[in-house]
A and B are shown apart, each in its own frame.
Chain A
Amino acid sequence: MEFFLLQIALFIYVAATAGFVVNLVTMRKDVERISTYILSAGLFVHTVGIILRWVYSAHPPLVSFHEVFSFLAWALALAFLLFQVGHKLKALGAFVTPIVTIFLIMSLIHPKAILPLPPALRSYWLPIHASISLIAYALLTMSFCISIMYLIQERQIKQKRLGAIFKRLPSLQTLDKMSEKCLKIGFPLLTLGIITGSIWAEKAWGAYWSWDPKETWSLITWFLYAALLHQRLTVGWRGKRSAYMTIIGFLALLFTFLGVTYLLPGAHSYAT
């Protein structure tokens, strides 16, 4: 049942993505509003799906790849909708909803079986650590999307190609500020995710930090984002350089999230 709901949610996300792309091309405000409603509907169905799974599996659905990707897609869609309430960054939908869709597809192609939770993971720290980290990932993904938009717009203006793309994207400074905003919320959450993780590790394995690949890569990612924020706040880094750093940080994050699990197995592997 809950799998069926996720399929419906995916279908709705695809529709919302199409809507935001149409909005990007036609620049019609009403299309944007309708797309936002469609996305909200998808999010609602998705939420019901996640709750149902939680009920069936009797543990927070944040364990298998299927569950984690599903939660990530959910968090990203939610973060985007909340962000749009306050900021109305035009064209952002066309960049974020495809990623929401991809995350949910990733979730659906991974085995959906409910696995028994290993005793080591049975702790209230699981939902705390995992949800905080994944929400941080969602915000940093948004920041990544906005940075991509920044780089595209920056290129248009630098090369004086003031055509269709130029007209459709927001101003440089707005993009820069919004990217920073996502970083400023996402980074503390990332930090909190690592701290809660290490507390949980101490409870489960008896050591705060054991340098397994996941932990090491989390730390590398954390340092990248820390350096970026530091440069932004002290030296005033912004614009293109900051956008590139955001993208590098996101790639490190992606590796921490996926690469480590697939390529460098350790204690942190998701149940598959």
Chain B
Amino acid sequence: MPHNATSKEIFLIGVNHKTAPVEVREKLALNQSDPPALKIFHSLPSCDEVVFLSTCNRVEVIVSTSKGLDNAKAEISDTWINCSGVDPETFKKCIYEYVGLKAIRHIFRVASSLDSMVVGEPQILGQLKDAYRNALESGCCGQILNKLMPKAFSVAKRIRTETKIASQAVSISYAAVELAKKIFGDLTGKSAMLIGAGEMAELAAQHLKTNGISQLMVANRTLERAVELARALDGKAISLKELDDALIEVDIVISSTGAPGFIIRKEQIQNIMRPRRHRLLFFIDIAVPRDIDPKVNDIENVYLFDIDELKEVVEENKAERQKEAIKAERIIEAEIIKFDSWLSSLDIVPVIRGLQEKAEHIRKRELSRTFKNLKHLSEKDKRAIEKLTQSLVGKLLHDPILFLKKTDEQNRSEALYTISKIFSLNGLGHERLDKIAKDVNLKAEHNDEKFPKSMSRS
């Protein structure tokens, strides 16, 4: 991106279920910190704007900085390592960092649930909205993130309505419930347990509850999280140590921890079958990597389905799914281009330079045309006329440039846009970029305001 050192950069640093084990994610979530994580990061000199996103599967810091990227990177990393107590080596290994366009793409993908453990699960959008609202209310958001985050939400909405990505996650939890019904018949009076507090597990649990599950238990490595989720789902929280006892009671188990290995083994289940009087037991393992040893399925009266097997249940057509994913990615690319064009319009320098270049170009062209016709002019006269044109141009441009420089940040983009439209500074490329975005053959959402006009939202 054509930003210089002093311009604003979007920077994102974080971990997710693919890059970091659950222990690290939990530490980095800074659940217990006081002041809250958001405030800690916002107090850093390099972080002009901050959104702090923490879900079961990811923890991310999204910042906008004008103090230089390297500064921001160093400050955030150091602070995060200090506050979380994560070993710096581990931290380096687990995190991912995105700058500029890549950061925007990542945020759009997260919001649209393309980066989720279960692609298309709907809860991440709500969580991202909560994170943004939180930042907004704490005064941690400014011009950039106030544009970026709502944009991410509208991109997510667009992907949800224009592709079938979202219906897939819903259908997986639906399939899980249908399977449970084929095993237990009526689900009324049955009990279920969540192991790990994943987004998808929560969705499936909700679904089970509406189908008559009477008792719900939540087991998690950290009890606080279990208690939190148990409260949300009107269930009972237990610690992982009580797992074996709970397994004797429950009928349906949904597991979605981030544990690197199996947390439920075959012998463990074999041993509980007698105390549970051989009652049927249904495991749904939606964790990646898997939580439950696939051999558990060999035990009599025990049925285990992992996420891939559930997907197969609902998967009508693999090619269809692929097509939907490509469609979603294309929407994101188009939206990134639009956002980037807005972002670059924030830069005052290119506009001023463009203005000056255009004026200079006109001045030179007109001058040479005039001089061609006025052959009798002496060199001295020519110099005087040249001086005159220069000062004319200078004086004419003085006010618009001053206006641009004086406009405060909130209104700057509007001003930049107006100026570049008035002087039709095509070099900045709004039209070109808008056109590219349109060419990415999509059902463009026309009620979604045309790009730079919506500045007033901030």
Contacts and interface: CB of A to CB of B under 8 A. Distances in A.
A240 B183 contact: no
Interface in B296-338: 297, 300-301, 303, 305, 309, 312-313
Given A239-B301, A241-B300, A170 B278 contact: no
Contact of B280 (A160, A173, A235): A173
Contacts, number: 52
Interface string A151-195: 001000110101000100011111001000000000000000000
Nearest to A242: B278
B174 interface: no
A122 to B, nearest CB: 49
B305 A173 contact: no
A173 B183 contact: yes
B301 A240 contact: yes
B395 interface: no
B161 to A, nearest CB: 29
A129 interface: no
Contacts of B279: 236, 238
Contacts of B398: none
Contact of A171 (B184, B297, B309): B184
Contacts of B278: 235-239, 241
Interface string A204-242: 000000000000000000000000000000011111110
A166 B182 contact: yes
A2 B297 CA distance: 55
B181 interface: yes
Contacts of B269: none
A170 B185 CA distance: 7
B280 A239 contact: yes
Counting contact residues on chain A (CB < 8 A from B), the size range is 10 to 19
A235 B183 CA distance: 21
Nearest to A171: B185
B184 A172 contact: yes
Contacts of B184: 171-173
Of B182, B184, B277, B300, most buried by chain A (CB within 10 Å of CB) is B182
B277 A157 contact: no
Interface in B317-376: none
Given A157-B303, A160-B305, A172 B182 contact: yes
Nearest to A170: B185
A241 to B, nearest CB: 6
A27 to B, nearest CB: 14
Interface string A246-268: 00000000000000000000000
A157 B179 contact: yes
A266 B286 CA distance: 62
Interface of B: 179, 181-186, 274, 276-280, 297, 300-301, 303, 305, 309, 312-313
14 contacts: A157-B183, A158-B297, A160-B309, A160-B312, A162-B179, A171-B181, A171-B185, A236-B276, A236-B277, A238-B279, A238-B280, A239-B280, A240-B301, A241-B278
